[in-house]
Structure 1
């Protein structure tokens, strides 16, 4: 079996990155619906056939920075030591390791643009939710294969809470990120959101003082 040369792999990675960067630039300036796939391919000087070697469509290329982080999370989850710590703590550490792994100097800017676009574009948001559900299914498979976990709803609920904490952190970060956006700030927001999860389960539904 032949494998691609390092030079060929670097060229493929440059083409993929050019598609991501150009898509985010065009979508941010003209709106997601204001840019056709033909226009994107023409801007990068690649054919649509080449585009579809990397992405399934406009939503896929626009969400790529954030989805790359989740794919790194799945890879890290396969190797992180199963050392008896609480499951949420293990998953938090895994996500932070994945974030550090993908966060090159330009990733934060791309990720912030991607998240903002997803909040403004219904088709991107729907695509992201589908990706999230599929990824969570894979997370459950890896966790049950690697760890001695009970066959009850707690594992899935832990995964859902991890994603909820990420969405809270990433949403606030993308809306308030500085120039350039900071990966350590995103990591700190995510850690704080995870830390807030237990307290969210014990909040009481007390009436406002003026309604008593």
Structure 2
């Protein structure tokens, strides 16, 4: 018989609200004033919390700016762990991404494009993004097989390249319902891409 999860305490709900306020305000301020030009002092003043509270929730300005992307990949890895059955791993990666995107709410779809644009505009955020993605890449490989296997490492890199192509198609307009379709189109283009000749 399944056990129900314990109710979230008032303290935990308050912590979640603070974390959400910091993430949303950070993206808004970084978008309006620029990532490098927005100080941590200005951010915590805007949310009316202390730096100590900030650092209980996030490690750095880069970390708080990257919240929407982290939420996506945390949800993806969770869904990948739930995925059952067998078959080509590239199909598993695609289907898991589509399932993950289906779980994301409208608020996430509002914040995620702003995060992507911030990454494009800031070298420090771009570097943070690359390090984070390398960690995700290794974790995906670890969850589905031997992370040292060359073929698997190549396949995960291929999957992430397809994902980035889908994002590039979606990013100009960022219509929430169109991101899954961009993913489907990018995966569907694989066979034709491999047959391209000079």
Shift, 1:69, TM fit: 0.5
Q: Partner of 1:129 in structure 2?
A: 130
Provide the C-alpha distance between the structure 2 equivalents of 1:175 and 1:6, rounded to a whole number of angstroms.
Answer: 41
Q: Partner of 1:23 in structure 2?
A: 26
Provide the C-alpha distance between the structure 1 equivalents of 2:7 and 2:49, rounded to a whole number of angstroms.
Answer: 20
Question: Where does structure 2 lack aligned partners over 5 or more consecutive residues?
Answer: 1-5
Summarize the Cα distance change of 1:109–1:42 in structure 2 as closer, same or farther, 3 Å threshold.
same
1:187 to 167, 180, 183: 180
Deviates more, 1:34-43 or 1:190-199: 190-199
Shift, 1:6, TM fit: 2.9
Q: Is the 8 A contact 1:169 1:193 kept in 2?
A: yes
Provide the C-alpha distance between the structure 2 equivalents of 1:69 and 1:141, rounded to a whole number of angstroms.
Answer: 18
Q: How many residues align?
A: 193
Q: Partner of 2:3 in structure 1?
A: none
Secondary structure in 2 matching 1:34: coil
1:201 to 169, 194, 197: 194
Shift, 1:167, TM fit: 1.3
Shift, 1:173, TM fit: 1.6
CA RMSD of aligned residues (A): 1.9
Deviations 1:105-145 (A, max 9, x none): 21111001000111111111111010000111111111117
Deviations 1:80-99 (A, max 9, x none): 11x22211111111111122
| 1:169 is aligned to 2:171 | no
Q: Partner of 1:210 in structure 2?
A: none
Stretches of 4+ aligned residues off by more than 4 angstroms: none
